Amino acid sequence: MSKKILVVDDEISIREIVRDALIMKGYEVMTVPSADHALDIIFTEPFDLILLDINLADASGISVLKKIRETQQKLPVVIYSGSLTAEIETEARAAGANETLRKDIGIPQLIGQIDKIVKAKDRIFETPSKRKEKTVLVVDDEYSIRCVLMDFFEQKGYTTLEAESGEKALELAGSETVSVVLLDINMPGMDGLTTLKKLLEMSPKPGVVMVTGNMDDGDVQKAVELGAYGYVLKPFDFLYLELVVMSRLAIAQED
């Protein structure tokens, strides 16, 4: 039986492009233009995932998300918008979004992310205690940043590894089981994009999250197109950072 997705966007051109791409991948798709339409359908029909724009004509997508979460805690919701900021992403994740994506990532990348989330649906909402032990690899040429990130994730119960360069990251990824990689974009020697390519050539399983000081950096877009799960900004918002990594851990392919 095909999986069913609801696309909520007030732009008809976006709805049609996304609908057609999802149908080509074998999904059953419904589209609606407003928050009211979405809420009427969500509470009467079963869906495997909701793709939800933030800026709807009649309401905020985040307000819709909060209403969904009042009654449906285990329905994957992806926020999809052309106006994401770190603050909006943090608010969306705190409200229960399983993923936040920018509209400029492109349709192939969007469909790829949706595929991963739908396949991971059964484990996305597992409690951390039911998940396998996870390892986070921190890749940054600045020692102080590696220390801060490793301390944070170790306090949260994760196993951590560190690499000061792309070369060292590849060495560790080849010898250790890594679940998520926090990868600095701007490093001397082998930069983040080159490291990302090589990591994904070795294995598509780890979720790679880019670390950058500028969300408008063109390299962030290139990284997502290459296969990165997303990005986090410096200086770190640790609530946002944890939410991002937790979602990547849940969505990432497992052995």
Domain ranges within the chain, ordered by starting residue: 4-124, 128-251
Token look-up 């696309």 returns 7
Distance CA 42, CA 92 (A): 18
Residue 212 is predicted with a pLDDT of 87
| Residues 24/2, Cβ–Cβ less than 8 Å | no
Residue 133 is predicted with a pLDDT of 64
The CATH number of 4-124 is which of 3.30.70.260, 3.40.50.2300, 3.30.450.20, 3.40.50.720? 3.40.50.2300
pLDDT digits (tens, 9 = 90+) for 46-67: 999 999 999 898 889 999 999 9
Q: What is the CA radius of gyration of the chain?
A: 18
Classify residue 189 as left (phi > 0), alpha (psi -120 to 50) or beta: left
pTM metric for this prediction: 0.70
3-class state of residue 211 by DSSP? strand
Residue 22's contacts (CB-CB under 8 Å, 6 or more residues apart) are: 5, 7, 29, 111, 114
CATH code for the domain defined by 128-251: 3.40.50.2300
Nearest CA among 148, 142, 133, 108 for reference residue 24: 108
3-class state of residue 138 by DSSP? strand
pLDDT digits (tens, 9 = 90+) for 171-219: 999 999 898 999 999 999 999 999 999 999 998 778 899 998 876 667 8
Exposure of 66 by Cβ count < 10 A (0-12 exposed, 13-18 middle, 19+ buried)? middle
Residue 188 is predicted with a pLDDT of 92
Residue 217 is predicted with a pLDDT of 64
Taking 70 as the pLDDT cut, the residues of the chain under it are 126-133, 215-217, 251-255
Residue 255 is predicted with a pLDDT of 39
